[in-house]
Chains A and B, each alone.
Chain A
Amino acid sequence: MTKLAVLNKVFPMRWRGSMETFMTLLIWSVACFVVGVLLWLLSDLIWHGMGQISWTFLTTAPQKAGRAGGIAPILVSTALIVGVCLATAIPLGVGTAILLVEFSPQHSLFGRLVRLSLEVLAGVPSIVFGLFGNAFFSKTLGLGFSILAGGLTLACMVLPILIRATQEGLRAVPNDYRRSAAALGLSRTATLWVLLLPAAMPGLSVGILLGLGRAIAETAALIFTSGSVDRMPESLLDSGRALSVHIFDLAMNISGGEANAYASALLLILSLMVINAIISGLAHWFRDSRIQVI
């Protein structure tokens, strides 16, 4: 039986019109559902949290274990942890991806090993990273419960995401660029810097965003490494409480902490959106200032 005959049997001609309408409706409703969930989540956060957010909330220290007061030290700790994480993970991740895509043959043993370990690493639960960070950074390296230990642990966690995205970005650059650049006697480094990296930038920024999203939302790995002290940190070696840890603590351990938990969660979402906008803006600026894509 031909495909058309099967189609005619399953969907007789007279049904086709209504089938079309039904399918369209189905697709639209699925899309609306997805958007709806996001809107619901956001509006719930805004409804409960917006009232708490004020300038004082942003600039003062928490009081009564977070039931009252603000979250200034927590914002600072979070920024520092994420900063340490990205400052370590971006150079390492981009470097590894470049090595894998541009300088090692696709099927070499080395390349395969690295790829395999990345796949395994990407699937490791964050609590395991937390234990590892605690054992290695906090104990073995003697960093204790500190922002540095937390940031480095997060860096290990986001590294696979970052490497994968950069690899995809570089692979998506047409091979024509590499061949024509080589034919003009251009070195690989120059080709990479002038052509390949700018062209791979949007992919790279997606990787940074995904990694950042995972880092900023991380709780399990941070409880063991950067701790949960809610004082203002004085150096990277101080313990610091990240926003997500704060939310977890307020919601689970502190009765009467819900209002501030909502406010902190709202801030977390807002900051993620702002950072998203900044990073993708920077990535496009970097690309467009170097290459001209039609």
Chain B
Amino acid sequence: MRQHSASLTAPRLSTVQTQNLTLHYGKKAAFKDVTLTLDPGKITTLIGPSGCGKTSFLNCLNRIVELTLNSVISGRILLEDQDIRTLNVINLRRRIGMLFQKPNPFPLSIQKNIEFPLRHHGIKSQRRIDEIIENSLQQVGLWQEVKDRLKTPALSLSGGQQQRLCLARALALDPEILLMDEPCSALDPISSEIIEDLFLRLRGRYTFLVVTHNLAQAKRIGDRTALFWVQEGSGTLIEAGTTPQLFENPQHALTRAYITGKKG
């Protein structure tokens, strides 16, 4: 396995736990009463029809939901037994990386995309920064493709490459948790397969939460899977379990209907 930038020590495997988490946008509840645990080092996939609050749930875990007007969270989110509201938000987001639906590299050079956040988090030595850039690009398999053009605009990369750069940018900060919001939905099948393979390679080193519309993908990469559904106008967690169990022996009628394509 490749050495990660800061992983001279063993990787920290952390867990995230939500307890009766409810999110409101103004008066409307996006989801209600979600109690879910992300197992350390495992990939948890989150499935469900559009508008069932999957993405909103994801956005709560690194408090990015606070950028949205009128959002009110109740319940608790624990990162390693610490309520995330007691943590410094900058540090929290360093520990919990995120990948968005649409690749969104900054309009900077490939190198600056990774360097800018690193410097902001207090890493000053250029040698160290170069090292981390190389390591994180290696991890996402982009190093060979871009090592001779690190100074060129990140936006000149293809969609799949951009998404891998965004992943590298997140990995460079040495996170413990990775939140993925339909990371392949804007990509072509080949790029999407590359990203999926990456998740499988990184499994065991980070704790993943992957929101996906793609049931086959949820089944392929997931260790555990959770199903969200809209009930009475707001998202609800219907069922969560190991991926094989959820797909082969669902406990809930809705789950059965959804995974067989009868609903959703």
Contacts and interface: CB of A to CB of B under 8 A. Distances in A.
A291 B153 CA distance: 9
6 pairs of A and B residues whose beta carbons are closest in the complex: A185-B93, A292-B153, A183-B98, A176-B104, A185-B94, A291-B107
B121 to A, nearest CB: 7
A178 B120 contact: no
Interface in A138-184: 176-184
21 contacts: A178-B67, A180-B106, A181-B106, A182-B67, A183-B64, A183-B100, A184-B97, A184-B170, A185-B90, A185-B92, A185-B93, A186-B120, A187-B90, A187-B120, A194-B116, A195-B106, A291-B107, A292-B108, A292-B152, A292-B154, A294-B155
B106 A291 contact: yes
B166 interface: yes
Contacts of B120: 184-187, 190
B93 A183 contact: yes
Interface residues of B, number: 32
Interface in B5-25: none
Contacts of A180: 98, 100, 104, 106, 166
Nearest to B151: A292
B102 A184 contact: no
A194 B115 CA distance: 12
Interface string B71-114: 00000000000000000011111100110101010111100000
A1 to B, nearest CB: 38
Contacts of A179: 64, 67, 100, 104
Nearest to A186: B120
Interface in A93-107: 105-107
Given A199-B107, A291-B106, A292-B107, A184 B153 contact: no
Contacts of A293: 107, 153, 155
Contacts, number: 80
Contacts of B109: 292
Contacts of A194: 106, 108, 116
Given A183-B64, A292-B155, A106 B69 contact: yes
Given A179-B100, A186-B90, A292-B154, 10 more contacts: A107-B69, A177-B106, A180-B104, A181-B106, A183-B100, A184-B93, A194-B106, A291-B107, A292-B153, A292-B155
A58 B64 CA distance: 59
A291 to B, nearest CB: 4
Contacts of A199: 107
A177 B107 CA distance: 9
Given A190-B120, A293-B155, A183 B106 contact: no
A180 B169 CA distance: 10
A137 to B, nearest CB: 39
A182 B90 CA distance: 8
Interface of A: 105-107, 176-187, 190, 194-195, 199, 291-294
A183 B66 CA distance: 11
A150 to B, nearest CB: 40
B117 interface: yes
Interface of B: 62, 64, 67, 69, 89-94, 97-98, 100, 102, 104, 106-109, 116-117, 120-121, 152-156, 166, 169-170, 173
Contacts of B170: 183-184
Most chain B beta carbons < 10 A, residue from A106, A185, A187, A195 = A185
B117 A184 contact: yes
Given A195-B107, A199-B107, A183 B97 contact: yes
A187 B94 CA distance: 12
Nearest to B116: A194
B65 to A, nearest CB: 10
A269 to B, nearest CB: 36
Contacts of A185: 89-94, 117, 120-121, 173
Q: Which residue, of A181, A184, A185, A186, has the highest number of chain B Cβ atoms within 10 A?
A: A184
Nearest to A184: B117
A258 B228 CA distance: 80
Contacts of A184: 93-94, 97, 117, 120, 169-170, 173
A203 to B, nearest CB: 15
Contacts of A177: 104, 106-107
